[in-house]
A and B are shown apart, each in its own frame.
Chain A
């Protein structure tokens, strides 16, 4: 369940310092956390332009992380019974498909995979230009009475997930909703917490986290781009 996180230290986000306390997530990544000190620009330099880019997860790291998350989903849902994976476009969708493939490889069960576009439920539509809509594809089994696992690439303010929860309610009433994210970068603005986290990544608000996926971007990587703007 993307649950209210009372007393979650991640909510205390003063922003500028870039050192927020990590959410106390029982399912936290087993790998070491990266320091948010820039270590120079190694590896990929994205289209972000200005600033220093560093690679936080390589393609191999990402594979291992997705495998672990698949195991955790199976563990927490007793073998994936009644689970539907819904990716949040754009990059949540291929991530959901990867999770489903790993789950199939481990346990031999085929989880239904779909996509859920929260755009029309966002609370910040008026703050920016019109956003193009993405595809919503609910699997034939529907969501009524199922355990829906929302899958996204980066968890940040929590607003996208909030919108996705609203969007989901238009399609039915799941038994439970859980949240899986590849990267949790902190700075929550809403009481939302992920059930499955690929990597906790303390960041500054000035930095941006870019998840690259083979299916969308041609290569796998997670990058942090620190803007050198004052």
Chain B
């Protein structure tokens, strides 16, 4: 693994290795000293062309726990706002000796492009409406920790699938890990090529909930909506929001997940978001462990092939 760009091309073995490594990293959070010398002397650059406090902070904490130096490079107020191209930015980072670049970009595919320009590892931290692999990995990690397995589970993803890179990354990763994925959304919020995805599609949330081990709610991404995808927010919420009555239809053990930030009262009711079956807060903690695992696996060795011991 030289880069982590998408979950669609992540093999089962690699996905399991990330999850197992994250398990070990999670134990570090229990130790009195939560700092490892593993990536001492390595530099991780957070290159964010889109605002994201949560993901950037999570990567920053992960890199710092492994003793890497972290440089936050945000597009606002930098040379990028003066018209510098992605390639020039990449070459600048390269010249500064970045060992890994964590990249978020509004254009789908930007991290792929970046990976061909820099010698270090590139981690996709969300590109346009394409993928957000570490989010999917932390979701899978959270499910496995709570329910003990992923193989054979029924996972339902609800909401703005069209604009959601979280949904895309999860569909590919969870399928690789043996889960069956169903997506539920208004027809206008499903992508055109959905028939080619390894998922079932439903427009009726209530019929799917009783058969779901995991229900993953997505935020309605207002900032990406240039057209009218549904009549009103209230109508969306009434048909696709997860309220207490709907949550009661789920099996006892079933989890409610949300990648955050949540819009309470819109796609998820407060009572559900704060219920014991909600993993929202755990997902944040697990995000650090998973990102530590990814950084370790990308930067922890000589860069040669992984040991198979």
- Are A120 and B302 touching (Cβ within 8 A)? no
- Are A171 and B301 touching (Cβ within 8 A)? no
Residues of B within 8 A of A133 (CB): 20-21, 24-25, 296
Question: In the complex, A126 Cα to B296 Cα: how many Å?
Answer: 11
Residues of A within 8 A of B25 (CB): 133
Question: In the complex, A131 Cα to B299 Cα: how many Å?
Answer: 11
Which residue of B has the minimal Cβ distance to A143? B32
A-B complex: 4 closest residue pairs judged by Cβ atoms: A130-B301, A170-B33, A133-B24, A120-B38
Which residue of B has the minimal Cβ distance to A135? B24
CB distance from B301 to the nearest CB of A (A): 4
Take A132-B309, A136-B24, A171-B32 as given contacts and tell me if A125 and B17 are in contact as well, using a CB distance cutoff of 8 Å: no
Take A125-B300, A130-B296, A133-B21 as given contacts and tell me if A172 and B32 are in contact as well, using a CB distance cutoff of 8 Å: yes
CB distance from A98 to the nearest CB of B (A): 22
Take A130-B297, A132-B307, A133-B21 as given contacts and tell me if A125 and B38 are in contact as well, using a CB distance cutoff of 8 Å: yes
A-B contact count (CB 8 A): 67
Question: In the complex, A120 Cα to B307 Cα: how many Å?
Answer: 15
20 pairs from A and B in contact (CB 8 Å cutoff) = A120-B66, A121-B38, A125-B301, A127-B302, A128-B304, A129-B301, A129-B303, A129-B307, A130-B306, A131-B300, A131-B301, A131-B307, A132-B21, A133-B25, A135-B24, A138-B31, A169-B33, A170-B28, A170-B35, A172-B32
Residues of A within 8 A of B307 (CB): 128-132
Interface residues of A, dominant DSSP: loop
Take A130-B306, A133-B24 as given contacts and tell me if A120 and B297 are in contact as well, using a CB distance cutoff of 8 Å: no
Take A117-B24, A120-B38, A134-B24 as given contacts and tell me if A129 and B306 are in contact as well, using a CB distance cutoff of 8 Å: yes
B209-234: which residues lie under 8 A (CB-CB) from chain A?
Answer: none
- Judged by a CB distance under 8 angstroms, whether B263 is at the interface is no
Which residue of A has the minimal Cβ distance to B30? A138
Which residue of B has the minimal Cβ distance to A123? B37
Interface centre among B17, B296, B303 (most CB of A within 10 A): B296
B253-301: which residues lie under 8 A (CB-CB) from chain A?
Answer: 296-297, 300-301
CB distance from B178 to the nearest CB of A (A): 21
Interface flags, A138-164, vs B, CB<8A=1, else 0: 100000000000000000000000000
Interface residues of B, dominant DSSP: loop
- Judged by a CB distance under 8 angstroms, whether B82 is at the interface is no
Which residue of A has the minimal Cβ distance to B303? A129
- Are A131 and B309 touching (Cβ within 8 A)? yes
Residues of A participating in the B interface, judged by any CB pair closer than 8 Å: 117, 120-121, 125-136, 138, 166, 169-172
CB distance from B272 to the nearest CB of A (A): 35
- Are B300 and A130 touching (Cβ within 8 A)? yes
Residues of A within 8 A of B305 (CB): 129
Residues of A within 8 A of B309 (CB): 131-132
- Are B31 and A120 touching (Cβ within 8 A)? no
Take A126-B301, A131-B301 as given contacts and tell me if A166 and B24 are in contact as well, using a CB distance cutoff of 8 Å: no
Question: In the complex, A133 Cα to B36 Cα: how many Å?
Answer: 13
Residues of A within 8 A of B38 (CB): 120-121, 125
Question: In the complex, A166 Cα to B303 Cα: how many Å?
Answer: 24
- Are A170 and B302 touching (Cβ within 8 A)? no
CB distance from B269 to the nearest CB of A (A): 39
Residues of A within 8 A of B36 (CB): 120-121, 170
CB distance from A80 to the nearest CB of B (A): 25
